[in-house]
Amino acid sequence: MTFTTPLLLSLKLSSVTMVLLFIVGIPLAYGLAFSRIRWKFLVESVVALPLVLPPTVLGFYVLLAVGGNSFIGQKYEAVFNKTLAFSFQGLILGSCLYSLPFAVQPFHTSFAGVDKKLLEASWSLGRSHLYTFFSVVLPLSRQGIITGCVLSFAHTLGEFGVVLMLGGNIPGITKVASIAIYDEVQSLNYGTANIYSAILLTFSFIILALVYFINRRFIRTL
């Protein structure tokens, strides 16, 4: 395993997680923003749960849910001939659950902030809900969508507890940068740990600065 392998694995995990959360988070956030279901607050609580739940607790329960003795784990192994736990695919599942609120909440806030009169005007012209979403809601919500995507990416990039519980420490498969830092510190290799940490710190700062820059430009154009 080369020095860059954990870093590239972290970037791959963060990118895949961000794309999946965009695909899943957009319809979920839209439903939370416009649905009038009475028990909607329960769904909102489940989505926000990773914000207050210790990552090790979340990782432990996901491990139980996808482990070799679970129904999901057995079915997955029967189809793909490999375990879901302690695999990169398992990390993707855990990362999506762990970073879900960081994507859904900005999406939801942006959707809820769209002027309802614009939606009603579109509907009154005979436009479908799907057309209205892509032509009205989505363009007006791009600031929140960008924020949600970047936050989910950055949050996944630095995750540790879920990765450790669900993926362990398998070089080239589940050993991401945060686990590599932990290993180097345990081995008293503070110099290498510092390099990994500095790279993640710099990268995280750059992407967050980029998000704030884009948001400020968006506000000025309004």
pLDDT value of position 20: 97
pLDDT value of position 222: 53
φ and ψ at 187, to 5 degrees? -90, 5
pLDDT value of position 99: 95
pLDDT value of position 29: 94
pTM of the model: 0.89
pLDDT value of position 120: 84
CB atoms inside a 10 Å sphere around CB 33: 18
H-helix or E-strand spanning residue 130: helix 129-132
CB atoms inside a 10 Å sphere around CB 145: 20
pLDDT value of position 142: 87
Q: How many angstroms separate the CA atoms of 80 and 168, rounded? A: 20
- Parts of the chain with a pLDDT under 70: 1, 217-222
DSSP characters over 165-219: HHH---TTTT--HHHHHHHHHHTT-HHHHHHHHHHHHHHHHHHHHHHHHHHHHHH
Q: How many angstroms separate the CA atoms of 44 and 104, rounded? A: 10
